[in-house]
Amino acid sequence: MTLSLAGLWLFGGLLGNGNGDCRASTEAGIRTMQSLAESWPLRFANDPVRRYIQRLGQQLVAEADLHDAENWRFFVVRNLEPTAFAVGGNRFVVSDGLIAFVRNESDLAAVLAHEIAHQRLRHFCDHAPTDAKRIRYGSIVQHFDLDTERAADIYALRLLESAGYNPDSMYEVLRCLSERPGAPVSQLQTRMRSLKPSFTNRANMPNIGNLEEIRTHILEESGTPIQRCR
């Protein structure tokens, strides 16, 4: 399968045909992740980039008071498009490109918090909205629905706050994406308008790992200069 992640950087979930059955959707998510692992260049479990993302994700899950945090898996795909999505079944994927693109760990936490929200808010269990925009790639159909995205943004904001990160990061990461060439600017700006950032500086934010080291590692491996958001 050709790995084209362009256009997936809206942070939509990869939603199955939801029919209210959460257990079936969990099993489907785990199966989807298994098939992605067979065909996509995912980083291995002991890779420093993967370990960092897994730690950051688990920290947020624990903060959200979700059970069995160790069963939540955060994967990293070697792809330079900045993207992240939830697969279902507590499985998530972020790209090298996203990690290299964000300004800081708080912004990266915002992306993960948004994806955790899709899982937490049962977006995989409930009916997919009929007007959802569908983006097909490989064998997966991505549903994109503005109301669902906004609900996940608002949940993420609260999770960032309780984890000690800057809640404005949700807004900032959407701004960063909206400034990229070819971005779906009006969709992203609609989401940004729902967030009302306070632009206050936060001191003593958590630091799960050294994002600068992780970023340097990605750049050295890929041999590609990746512009980051300012």
Interface positions with Zn ion (CB under 5 A)? 11-12, 149, 152
CB of 118 to Zn ion, least distance (A): 5
Which residue's CB comes closest to Zn ion? 11
**Closer CB to Zn ion, 63 or 149, in the complex:** 149
CB of 115 to Zn ion, least distance (A): 7
**Closer CB to Zn ion, 11 or 214, in the complex:** 11
**Closer CB to Zn ion, 105 or 153, in the complex:** 153
**Closer CB to Zn ion, 172 or 215, in the complex:** 172
Beta bridge partners of 77: 42, 95
CB of 149 to Zn ion, least distance (A): 5
C-alpha–C-alpha distance, residues 218 and 41, integer Å? 14
Beta bridge partners of 74: 92
**Closer CB to Zn ion, 80 or 152, in the complex:** 152
Q: Is residue 94 a contact partner of residue 50, using CB atoms and an 8 Å limit? A: no
Angle (CA) 123 80 196, round 5°:
50
CB of 104 to Zn ion, least distance (A): 21
Q: Can you tell me which residue has the tokens 């992240």? A: 84
Q: Is residue 208 a contact partner of residue 56, using CB atoms and an 8 Å limit? A: yes
| 73-77/91-95 β-pairing | parallel
CB of 207 to Zn ion, least distance (A): 25
